[in-house]
Amino acid sequence: MNLADAFDEPAFVPYLCVGDPSVERTREYVQALVRGGADVLELGLPFSEPIAEGPTIQGSVVRALEAGTTPEQYFEFVDSLDVDVPVVCMTYYNLLYQYGDSEAQRASDASGEAASDGPESFVERAAEVGISGFVIPDLPAEEAGPLRAACDDHGLDLVFIVAPTTEGDRLERMVELSSGYLYVQARLGVTGAKADVSDQTEASLAKVSQYDIPKAVGFGVSSGDQARHIVEAGADGVIVGSALVDVVAEHGDPDGDDVPERLEAKARELSEGVAAGAENMAKPEGQ
């Protein structure tokens, strides 16, 4: 499914890290999110150095790694996922970079030269399992050439994050390189649920409003109310991670806990917030 199309109406984009606490439970959670109104899924592939994440998502990543989640398991999981919304893979560049090096190959070339052939194999495999695009927080436009090319080859989108600090030429270049949507970072810092919507949000949206690409706002969104405000401010989508991971973090007995129910409820709150915002936008004040 074309990623950009998912934003025809303002979209709710939940994030979860795959493998926390297990791949099987992630499946239940994802289904709950879809039931709750998810329009796009950002699914994290856990990496050992999640430098763009705050404590909540870090914790989730650590649990997923401790559960032994590997890129291959991730791909199989997405492959077997029976949902009707596009999936975006969120991870860090080293995992793309390493993918496809067999251990044998690595051992035969301990010097590290030519051990890696870049992100090509990873993208190929992602395409195979039906992934629509990528968000790679440690890959700025400057270093994205090889991945952009591989994505183009395989018809995948590459989503860039526009930070409050992004301006001028860099902004131009990033918008140019971005496909699917623009990830508009609502505040400086790292991921994490906050009680208010940053003042930055409107300014950030304003500076990209002229570009013809869907804009999804993330970093710190935690309530339906916030989601509504963001959409009212002109966003085409709202990305929510930590507020959902907070629910996952409370998981208990795999057969008995109510995490899926609570995830679904939270997702519904958020997606309804998005929808309410969209409705208001149809009114006069709308841009």
Partner 1 sequence: MSHETQRGADETEDRDGTFGRYGGQYVPEALMPAVQELEDAYERYVLNNVDGFVDEFRRRLRDFGGRPTPLQRADRLSDRLDREVYLKREDLLHGGAHKLNNALGQVLLAKYMGKERIVAETGAGQHGTATAMAAAHLDMPCEVYMGTRDIQRQRPNVFRMRLNGSEVNPVSAGRGTLKEAINETMRDWATNVEDTHYVIGSVVGPHPFPEMVRTFQSVISEEARAQVQEQAGQLPDSVVACAGGGSNTMGTFHEFVGDESVDLFAVEAGGSSLAVDEETGVAPNSASLSTGTEGVLHGARTKLLQDSDGNVVESHSVSSGLDYAGVGPELAHLVDTERVTPVNVDDDEALEAFHLLSQEEGIIPALESAHAVAFARANPEQLGGLTVINVSGRGDKDLESVIEETENRELENAPGMDIFERAAGGSGGGL
The closest alpha carbon to 262, from 28, 4, 10, belongs to 28
Q: Give, as ranges, the residues between 57 and 96 that touch partner 1 (CB under 8 A).
A: 58, 62, 65, 70-71, 92-96
Q: Contact at 8 Å (CB) between 182 and 175? A: yes
Can you give the C-alpha Rg of the chain in angstroms? 18
The closest alpha carbon to 167, from 220, 113, 204, 135, belongs to 204
Q: How far is the CB of 159 from partner 1 (least distance, A)?
A: 11
Phi, psi of 198 (to 5 degrees): -60, 145
CA distance 62 to 79: 23
Q: Which pair of tokens denotes residue 178?
A: 């971005």
The residues near 54 (Cβ < 8 Å, ≥ 6 apart) are 189, 190, 191, 192, 242
Catalytic: 250? no
CB closer to partner 1 out of 147 and 278: 147
CA distance 50 to 59: 10
CA distance 229 to 209: 16
Q: Which stretch binds partner 1 (CB under 8 A): 79-87, 184-192, 196-204, 243-251?
A: 184-192
Q: Contact at 8 Å (CB) between 70 and 20? A: no
Residue 22 binds to partner 1 (criterion: CB under 8 A) = no
* E-only strand ranges, 99-181: 133-135, 157-162
Q: How far is the CB of 62 from partner 1 (least distance, A)?
A: 7
Q: How far is the CB of 280 from partner 1 (least distance, A)?
A: 30
CB closer to partner 1 out of 102 and 287: 102
Contact string 90-129 vs partner 1 (x = CB under 8 A): --xxxxxxxx-xxx--x--xxxxx-xx-------------
Among 19, 37, 54, 218, binds partner 1 (CB under 8 A): 54
Q: Which stretch binds partner 1 (CB under 8 A): 16-24, 182-190, 220-228, 248-256?
A: 182-190
Catalytic: 53? yes
Q: Give, as ranges, the residues between 201 and 260 that touch partner 1 (CB under 8 A).
A: none
CB closer to partner 1 out of 189 and 262: 189
Among 5, 76, 79, 188, binds partner 1 (CB under 8 A): 188
Q: How far is the CB of 187 from partner 1 (least distance, A)?
A: 8
Residue 50 binds to partner 1 (criterion: CB under 8 A) = yes
CA distance 113 to 121: 17
Q: Contact at 8 Å (CB) between 229 and 197? A: yes
Q: Contact at 8 Å (CB) between 14 and 42? A: yes
Q: Give, as ranges, the residues between 118 and 177 that touch partner 1 (CB under 8 A).
A: 137-143, 160-167, 170, 174
DSSP helix, strand, coil percent of the chain (3-state; round to 5): 45, 15, 45
From the candidates 24, 53, 103, 113, give the one annotated as an active-site residue.
53
Q: How far is the CB of 178 from partner 1 (least distance, A)?
A: 11
From the candidates 42, 120, 264, 269, give the one annotated as an active-site residue.
42
Residues that bind partner 1 (CB under 8 A): 47-56, 58, 62, 65, 70-71, 92-99, 101-103, 106, 109-113, 115-116, 137-143, 160-167, 170, 174, 185, 188-190, 192
Residues with catalytic annotation? 42, 53
